[in-house]
Amino acid sequence: MDTQRSAERDRMQDIVSLCKRRGYIFPSSEIYGGVNAVFDYGPLGVEFKNNVKRAWWDAMTRMRDDVVGLDASIIMARRVWQASGHEEVFTDPLVDCTNCKARFRADHVIEEQGNLDVCPNCGQRGTLTEPRRFNLMFKTFMGPVEEDAGLVYLRPETAQGIYVNFLNVQSSMRKRLPFGIAQIGKAFRNEISPGNFTYRMREFEQMELQYFIPPEDEERWYNYWKEQRRQWYLDLGMQPEHLSWHEHGADELAHYARAAVDIYYQFPFGSKEIEGIHDRTDYDLRRHTEFSGKDMSYFDDIEKRRYIPYIIETSVGADRSALAFLCDAYDEEEVKGETRVVLRLSKRLAPIKVAVMPLSKKEDLVALARKVHDGLRPLGLTQYDDTGGNIGKRYRRQDEIGTPYCVTVDFESLEDGQVTIRERDSMTQRRVAIAELRDILSAELA
Ligand code: ATP
């Protein structure tokens, strides 16, 4: 068991180091020693994460008639967080070790070891303090004076931006229920025990759908969205055996939820939540009606009845799901006595779709390879690589970053107008005419 655990830890370290080495993810402010639980996406990381977000946006908005998009502000009126309950209850129970000064979430310690008797860091008995509530919202001040009247929060979730715009969206878009509003945006949480790379960050992005429904349809839509959301991961190539459900028991339910289920992913550091699907009832719009004095109810002009819509929410971290896709794609295999590292990312998520490489730096080869590369640009992000050196090594570098296809221009290409396509997963190679190359790759990437 211990060897398995340490192999999994090693695997996570391999993924983290690949991310750094190959331009996916860097620690924030690294030259100043870094900021805990804040990360920067490098040139490949930003493309990859954009692809994750685009895949979500397409599935949730563009492929549907019943969902529209929104991009609400990060800073909102303070009353929003009083209405939502965040100012009062968005807290985690915190314990400190009086011996080693380490800080933990009490619920995490209890989950791991059943009680709070021993410090998980230094192993001392009886050194953990009583749990204290700690609010996770970051505060800042609007205006020149740091006074209570100017206090605002950085939003800890994107959902509230959707609720407060419910009437704006519904009336401007003339939407009838059921319909949804989707949003992707930054959220901030002053997490007590961040960690596991980008799994738990203090600044992160969420992709949230709030689906507004008549109260009596709550169960149907809850089940519907559960299935839709699981299928999204499978459609993007995630291995089904790595996904599982975690149904919330009565003691776990958030203050706003009637029912909640998490989608768990089997990370190298354990099976953990990547997405939550919540039946929020009419809690949100009812509270905003109470706190703002603005009637957030909906009038059904066909059925001639007025009610406060119920909401089914699906909420996933862009960073957390991106990390799950990376972990799922990471593979090592033995090829001719050497270890090949390959990111088997879905073609839709791979940051670079095609890499074009001349076999050598000879002038006429380079000129042709550049021309071939320019012809492939419409396929998505492509890369031109004439760094020279062994072509096998260049293929390996592309394998490591998940590029599905390499195209090699060699001396024969100058004679016969053909190039070699080399495929990432199977490593098979085939010759095709340059004139047909774009159509072939475009069909395979589609
Ligand atoms: P956890 O129990 O892990 O703290 P949560 O249940 O509080 O998460 P939600 O409030 O339901 O999470 O947020 C929805 C989604 O947002 C999560 O499933 C996760 O993908 C993402 N998320 C939440 N907190 C973070 C974070 N600190 N870093 C990265 N992603 C996060």
**Ligand 1 probe mutation, 320, 321, 327, most atoms within 8 A of CB:** 320
**Ligand 1 probe mutation, 41, 197, 200, most atoms within 8 A of CB:** 200
127 and 150 co-located in one domain: no
Q: Return the DSSP state at 61.
A: I
Query: Ligand 1, atom 18: nearest CA belongs to which residue?
Result: 275
Is residue 95 one of the residues assigned to a domain? yes
CATH code for position 426? 3.40.50.800
Domain membership of residue 7 as a residue range: 2-76+139-327
| 282 three-state secondary structure | coil
CATH code for position 319? 3.30.930.10
Strand pairing category for 354-358 and 405-409: parallel
Which tokens hold the place of 151? Answer: 């206090």
Is residue 347 one of the residues assigned to a domain? no
84 C-alpha vs ligand 1 centroid, how far in Å? 17
| 160 three-state secondary structure | helix
* CA-to-CA separations, 239 to 53, 60, 124, 344, 418, in angstroms, rounded: 19, 21, 40, 11, 36
Which residues are within 8 A (CB) of 154 and not within 5 positions of it... i.e. 6 or more apart?
74, 75, 137, 138, 140, 187, 188
203 and 149 co-located in one domain: yes
**Kind and range of the H or E run holding 5:** helix 2-21
Is residue 363 one of the residues assigned to a domain? yes
Answer whether 185 contacts ligand 1 (Cβ < 6 A): no
146 and 277 co-located in one domain: yes
pLDDT at residue 311, rounded to an integer: 98
Residue where a domain terminates, one of 282, 310, 327: 327
Q: How far apart are CA 355 and CA 422, in angstroms?
A: 10
152 and 193 co-located in one domain: yes
Answer whether 156 contacts ligand 1 (Cβ < 6 A): no
Q: Is 211 within 8 Å of 224 (Cβ atoms)?
A: no
Residue where a domain terminates, one of 327, 360, 391: 327
Nearest Cα neighbor of 135 from 179, 94, 194, 196 is: 94
114 and 237 co-located in one domain: no
Query: Ligand 1, atom 13: nearest CA belongs to which residue?
Result: 315
250 and 232 co-located in one domain: yes
Supply the pTM of this predicted model. 0.93
Answer whether 155 contacts ligand 1 (Cβ < 6 A): no
| 203 three-state secondary structure | strand
128 C-alpha vs ligand 1 centroid, how far in Å? 25
* CA-to-CA separations, 244 to 216, 265, 355, 421, 437, in angstroms, rounded: 28, 7, 35, 37, 40
166 and 300 co-located in one domain: yes
**Ligand 1 probe mutation, 39, 111, 137, 273, most atoms within 8 A of CB:** 273
**Ligand 1 probe mutation, 52, 204, 312, 325, most atoms within 8 A of CB:** 204
Count the neighbouring beta carbons within 10 Å of the beta carbon of residue 434: 17
Q: How many domains does the chain have?
A: 3
Is residue 57 one of the residues assigned to a domain? yes
Q: Dihedral angle at the C-alpha atoms of 416, 438, 358, 338, nearest 10 degrees?
A: -110
254 C-alpha vs ligand 1 centroid, how far in Å? 13
Answer whether 276 contacts ligand 1 (Cβ < 6 A): yes
Answer whether 320 contacts ligand 1 (Cβ < 6 A): yes
277 and 416 co-located in one domain: no
Residue where a domain terminates, one of 279, 312, 327: 327
Answer whether 208 contacts ligand 1 (Cβ < 6 A): no
Q: How far apart are CA 224 and CA 218, in angstroms?
A: 10
Is residue 340 one of the residues assigned to a domain? no
55 and 117 co-located in one domain: no
317 C-alpha vs ligand 1 centroid, how far in Å? 6
Is residue 82 one of the residues assigned to a domain? no
215 and 313 co-located in one domain: yes
> What is the average pLDDT score of the chain?
95
Answer whether 203 contacts ligand 1 (Cβ < 6 A): no
Strand pairing category for 298-300 and 305-307: antiparallel
Answer whether 200 contacts ligand 1 (Cβ < 6 A): yes
Q: Is 133 within 8 Å of 127 (Cβ atoms)?
A: no
Answer whether 191 contacts ligand 1 (Cβ < 6 A): yes
Q: How far apart are CA 372 and CA 368, in angstroms?
A: 6
Work out the percent of the chain whose per-residue pLDDT is above 90.
Answer: 86
Q: How far apart are CA 438 and CA 353, in angstroms?
A: 12
Q: Dihedral angle at the C-alpha atoms of 304, 306, 307, 308, nearest 10 degrees?
A: 130
pLDDT at residue 7, rounded to an integer: 74
pLDDT at residue 2, rounded to an integer: 63
Is residue 336 one of the residues assigned to a domain? no
Which residues are within 8 A (CB) of 41 and not within 5 positions of it... i.e. 6 or more apart?
24, 25, 26, 48, 49
Q: How far apart are CA 402 and CA 424, in angstroms?
A: 8
Is residue 219 one of the residues assigned to a domain? yes
287 and 365 co-located in one domain: no
pLDDT at residue 389, rounded to an integer: 78
Q: pLDDT under 50 in the chain at which residues? A: none
Nearest Cα neighbor of 346 from 61, 69, 54 is: 54
Q: What is the pLDDT of residues 368-426, one digit of tens each?
A: 999 999 999 999 999 999 887 799 999 999 999 999 999 999 999 999 999 999 999 99
220 and 242 co-located in one domain: yes
